[in-house]
Chain A
């Protein structure tokens, strides 16, 4: 957390020598707090003060990146406890765990399926971020081979899992030059693990069942020069995971407690009943995880989790919008109908997907409703007959069609009378309430 001017002043020499070209150290401190000058303008700051000031400029939750030849995923750099306070910045990475005791064809099957998985959501292609590969057989060669074969089938970032540093070293050799996350250093193996992390410039996860244990480990790692850390509070149920994640986030953000200022890693698959896995992952998304490792991959669970992650990590200050304008579907002709909707992304894509999949040619006027849904915009006075008519003119729709038919969303049927007045030479129609029913409507009513 940033220091105040007074706090900075206490770290300066307080001699008022004016070498910085400010009249007093206090004046300089105030400018520094306001980020209007650089610390280097004062030639007399002690090394110790420099370090304290540099640390205070760092984000309360450190940004961590897992890198794999060109592909990477970042977590951390968060500054809020609640998304409405500002926003949540770095979406937690979703990983699927693989074990080296899996039958090789099965393992490759999972890797390929997960790697290829992509699901469209409001115009974005959502994908899974990477894989965690765990050594279970106690055989270094086998682990290295598994890591190598995973790497042959995906370019996504990896997490290497074992408490045995020699095992992790074998895995690292199979993906030379990458910076995977090493999981994990604990009370007993931390020295060897820290050395490996330092040598390979790889981020390191530390695991301990108490906050003190975690802080001790991060401190020890930092003393050895490993700064890129991830923490696993070793809680696996809902209640304790939530408690620990909240405590750690609060300590980092409200108390500027550096030893716990790192992203969390969660393992929702390590629960007592597998039906809980997706729910625990959902909790981890909303409540502060930076990396989430699931044990089971299914489209039914990953699609909602990926969508939830988008939702929680959107900026609450600005709704996701599309550009207002006239959009074309399935090569419309001057005979094709004109549909109207708003420029809220979720609204636009619900409609666009249906129109497109209907195979029927159509024009779509996306009115400038300031990024709001149909009813929200209507209630806020941003989607009325006047606005629609204005956008129909602005996008020169009349010049594109000979048959002037315009279809309103069913939820704003009340606008049809006024729109008839605004657009006198148009036939105003009211469509279905839900976009799902558009294809049928277009086939029956709009021929």
Chain B
């Protein structure tokens, strides 16, 4: 009996957002990265090909992090002591782009100054050719102070500046507007809040194709189901034609996964958890794959082996299925 394959047709489409600028475009990047463009649900290649398959970023810090899992720090080794070396190593390990997180303080506990933030950003830009995202330490005042300085010092690079939240987006958006950058807009796992934040940001005059949406994710075992469903709902709303949800989605999978006890702790854990390194990598990898299926366009990871595995999954998912 002949069966008609059920194909969805959607009125809406995900916007394309391009990060990074090459020298011809007024920046210094060796390439740009474009996200989005999908006109159907993730990897439904039998309906429409995905013009820009999901990309993978590595998260780096401006200095050796105090609170990262030893499994991740060990694999980067001495590179984690210097953002220039770290950025080069991350590029060699196959990242599509980099995400630099600024610390609240330096190793001695003194506050990170704008000069320090700019210096770390410059180092990364000089030692790698990849597009870059720069996140502040996550405290409103420090974020504003550091990100404005970074934005001004890197005018034209089309960095993605993060994180814009409802209480703290104005200064960052203004800095992005004035210096040809993009922003990452994060709302706490809620379709309407994501949408509202995008409206507030575009109301300030930033074109929607300079906004990445971070719906907030939880790691496997720690609330992944909430993030998963919110992402599915955002993607459905976007395809149904809701303009302010049509931005590509980015998720901090490495950050969430490696702070779980499973990934962070090696000693005094149940033997049913298995070997530490592999467990941590699985935690990050399976969180990433699950959220990719829900609509993530960019996953930010920490471990090189996770990147290698997730890359294999994306390559396969983005290839045209014979089932068409």
Contacts and interface: CB of A to CB of B under 8 A. Distances in A.
Q: Do A and B come from one complex?
A: yes
Interface of A: 82-84, 117-121, 211-212, 215-216, 219, 233, 235, 237-240, 242-244, 246-247, 250-251, 254-255, 257, 259-260, 273, 275-276, 278-279, 282-283, 286-287, 298-305, 307-308, 311-312, 314, 316, 346, 350, 357, 373, 376, 379, 434-436
A117 B272 contact: yes
A264 to B, nearest CB: 13
Given A82-B236, A120-B270, A300 B275 contact: yes
Interface of B: 1-3, 5-6, 43-46, 188, 220-225, 228-229, 232-233, 236, 259, 261-262, 264-265, 268, 270-275, 278-279, 282-283, 285-286, 289-290, 293-294, 308-310, 312-313, 316-324
B225 A307 contact: no
B291 to A, nearest CB: 10
Contacts of A316: 225, 229
Contacts of B279: 299-300, 303-304
B225 A298 contact: no
A215 B2 CA distance: 9
Contact of B43 (A239, A273, A286): A239
Contact of A286 (B222, B223, B228): B228
B290 A282 contact: yes
A350 B261 contact: yes
Contact of B44 (A246, A275, A307, A435): A246
Contact of B6 (A255, A311, A312): A255
B312 A303 contact: no
Contacts of A286: 228, 290, 293-294
Given A119-B272, A303-B272, A304-B283, A211 B312 contact: no
A275 B43 contact: no
A307 B6 contact: no
A282 B289 contact: yes
Contacts of B285: 278-279
B45 A303 contact: no
A215 B316 contact: no
Nearest to B268: A357
24 contacts: A117-B272, A119-B273, A235-B321, A239-B319, A240-B323, A242-B43, A243-B321, A244-B321, A251-B3, A260-B3, A273-B312, A298-B274, A299-B275, A300-B275, A300-B279, A303-B274, A304-B286, A308-B220, A311-B225, A312-B290, A314-B225, A316-B225, A376-B188, A379-B188
B228 A312 contact: yes
Nearest to A285: B290
B286 A305 contact: yes
Contacts of A307: 220-221
A316 B189 CA distance: 13
Contacts of B3: 211-212, 215, 251, 257, 260
A279 B274 contact: no
B262 A243 contact: no
A316 B231 CA distance: 14
B225 A239 contact: no
A8 B43 CA distance: 39
Contacts of B324: 243
A120 to B, nearest CB: 7
Nearest to B221: A307
A247 B229 contact: no
Contacts of B233: 82, 84
A379 B187 CA distance: 13
A119 B262 CA distance: 12
Nearest to B279: A300
Given A242-B43, A247-B6, A436-B265, A279 B229 contact: no
Given A120-B270, A239-B317, A303-B273, A244 B323 contact: yes
B321 A239 contact: yes
Nearest to B282: A304
Contacts of A346: 221-223
